[in-house]
Amino acid sequence: MQRDRMPRTPCEDEADERAVLALVLEVYPMYRTIPELGREFASTAPVRRAVASLVSYGLVVLHGNTLLPTLAAYHCHRLEAW
């Protein structure tokens, strides 16, 4: 029997995106990986959804399982633009 799941809200997805981006920016120029972030989230599913959105927005680059912020994202972070 499959467990019924409540659909995620846009606010929940955005919170995951903020958290993933913050964790990636926190260690730059080092990198984070999806499995590593999945352990912090207790699941890789929300991480993968967040990463897909962040990649489409041009905020992170994904190489295999390795995540790095784009220069634009890092520069905005340094300027404390968000």
Predicted local distance difference test score (pLDDT) of residue 8: 74
Query: What does each C-alpha distance from 63 to 3, 7, 10 come to in angstroms?
Result: 33, 29, 26
Q: Say if residues 13 and 53 touch (Cβ distance below 8 Å).
A: yes
Query: What does each C-alpha distance from 73 to 9, 35, 43, 60, 61 come to in angstroms?
Result: 24, 22, 25, 7, 10
| Average pLDDT rounded to a whole number, residues 28-33 | 95
* Within a domain: 64: yes
CATH number where 38 lies? 1.10.10.10
Q: pTM for the full model?
A: 0.85
* Within a domain: 5: no
Q: What percent of the chain has pLDDT over 70?
A: 89
* Within a domain: 1: no
Total tally of structural domains belonging to the chain: 1
Domain that holds residue 68: 10-78
- CA dihedral (68, 69, 71, 77) positive or negative: negative
Nearest CA to 22 out of 56, 39, 47 is that of 47
* Within a domain: 4: no
